[in-house]
Amino acid sequence: MDLSTFLVILTIVSVFMFDFTNGFHDSADMIAAAIASRTMSVSVAITLVSVFTFLGPLIAGLAVADTIGTFVNISRASSWDSQALVIAALFSAITFNLITWKLGFPSSSSNSLAGGLVGAGLFIVGKNQINWGFSALMHGHITGVSKVIIGLFASPFLGFIIGFIIMKLIFFIFKRFTMKIKPFFVSSQYISIAWLGFSHGANDAQNGMAIIGMMLLASHNTHVFTVPLWVILLCSTAITSGTMFGGWNIIKTVGFELFHIKLTTSVANQLGAALVNTLATSIGAPTSTSQVVTSTLLGNGAAENASHVNWNKAGKIILSWFVNVPASMLLGALYSFLILKIFGVFS
């Protein structure tokens, strides 16, 4: 086996690991509210989220993968440099995912990967080969890194606003109803959590697809950036496997340490987060399901009773989001140095 083939295989394995960590990061957020409301069993919640996470990327198209896969130009780099860049970005994202999972913080796998790609890209191919998208933004077009940044940082804000509005609407519409309405919300939760799982798969699963597409291009297995069907199936399987594994540290944080979650809160949270993910996917902007679910939940809590929200805990979580991109960029650059050094091409 030659080195190029080995690096392609290493990339595919690493993408599977990345999507697996993405799955148990985000699945914990998606099912946390349902579990905390004590109206859905863990096994049913995980099964629903897993099935619809798998279906998401198969049905929703590849607009997000195209965004992620084309904002670092590797066409002018050597095959070795391009492959090192892709692997370094992956290792960076996996590392940050594992650290935040261990700490119980619902961080963004998308942010980790985007930061890793930029950090590795700056180190290996230089700033001129990165599609920052700033000039296009001045002309009203959102593309490249700007599209990623806007999607990843605007989505939590939008999640909070939508979460607040949906919670207020539920209070207004159902204020005169008695406990007899509970079966309606129990049934609605099956639909809302399925939609959330689908929206997660349709957006976050495409990050890994983009990376394999970049590696296939870097190793000259393809002539243009593309995502074959087997890549879609692989990434869908990986992220679904991670979803089935779950992340109990994050479930504890999101479901039980922010505020007391009720059935209506759970449904409002899932509907709001799914809506934000769906809107972002429709324009090809990557989001973080972890960030969207958490910010939507904070909006739900603020609408219900802001004084009952643990804003100190929320502040620590949000701070970790701001650390995510720069930390991943540094890790991407560090892994780039180590990989190039190991393969004897560092000068």
For residue range 186-224, list pLDDT tens digits in order.
Answer: 999 999 999 999 998 888 777 788 888 888 877 777 787
Phi, psi (rounded to 5 degrees) for 70 = -120, 5
Q: What is the CA angle 245-104-337, rounded to 5?
A: 90
Please state the rounded mean pLDDT for residues 34-62.
84
- CA dist list (Å): 216 to 74, 184, 222: 11, 48, 6
What rounded mean pLDDT belongs to the chain? 85
Does residue 96 form part of some domain? yes
pLDDT of residue 149: 77
Q: What is the mean pLDDT of residues 33-57?
A: 87
CA-CA distance, 243 to 215, in Å (whole number)?
25
Using CB atoms within 10 A of its CB, is residue 134 exposed (0-12), middle (13-18) or buried (19+)? Answer: exposed
Low-confidence winner among 99-108, 143-152, 212-221, 332-341 (lowest mean pLDDT): 143-152
Bigger pLDDT: 148 vs 197 = 197
Report percent pLDDT > 90 for the chain: 31
| 115 CB-near residues (< 8 Å, 6+ apart) | 92, 93, 96, 324, 325, 326, 327, 328, 329, 331, 332
Q: Which domain holds residue 217?
A: 3-342
Residue 283 pLDDT: 77
**Confidence tier at 159 by pLDDT (50, 70, 90):** very high
Q: Which of 223-232, 266-275, 331-340 has the lowest mean pLDDT?
A: 223-232
Report yes or no: 124 and 73 within 8 Å, Cβ to Cβ: no
Residue 211: what residue type?
Answer: I
Residue 226 lies inside a defined structural domain of this protein = yes
| Residue at 72 is within a domain | yes
pLDDT band at 346 (very low <50, low <70, confident <90, very high): very low
Rounded Cα–Cα distance for residues 168 and 265 (Å)? 10
**What 3-state class would DSSP assign to 177?**
coil
**Segment 70-115, tens digit of pLDDT:** 778 877 778 788 888 989 999 999 999 889 888 888 888 878 888 9
- pLDDT-derived band at 347, boundaries 50, 70, 90: very low
Q: Which residue has the higher pLDDT, 297 or 31?
A: 297
In a domain, 233, yes or no: yes
Residue 151 forms part of a structural domain: yes
Would the pTM count as exceeding 0.75? yes
For 293-308, how does the pLDDT look when each residue is reduced to its tens digit (9 = 90+)?
999 999 999 999 999 9
Q: According to the model, what pLDDT value does residue 272 have?
A: 96
Q: What is the reported pLDDT for 344?
A: 65
Q: Would you say residue 200 lies in a domain?
A: yes
Q: Give the model's pLDDT for residue 192.
A: 95
Asked whether residue 123 is domain-assigned, the answer is yes
pLDDT exceeds cutoff 90 at 287: no
Q: Residue 246 pLDDT more than 70?
A: no
Structural domain count of the chain = 1
Residue 324 has pLDDT above 50, yes or no: yes
Backbone angles phi, psi at 72, to 5 degrees: -115, 120
Is residue 347 in a domain?
A: no
Is the pLDDT at 245 greater than 80, yes or no? no
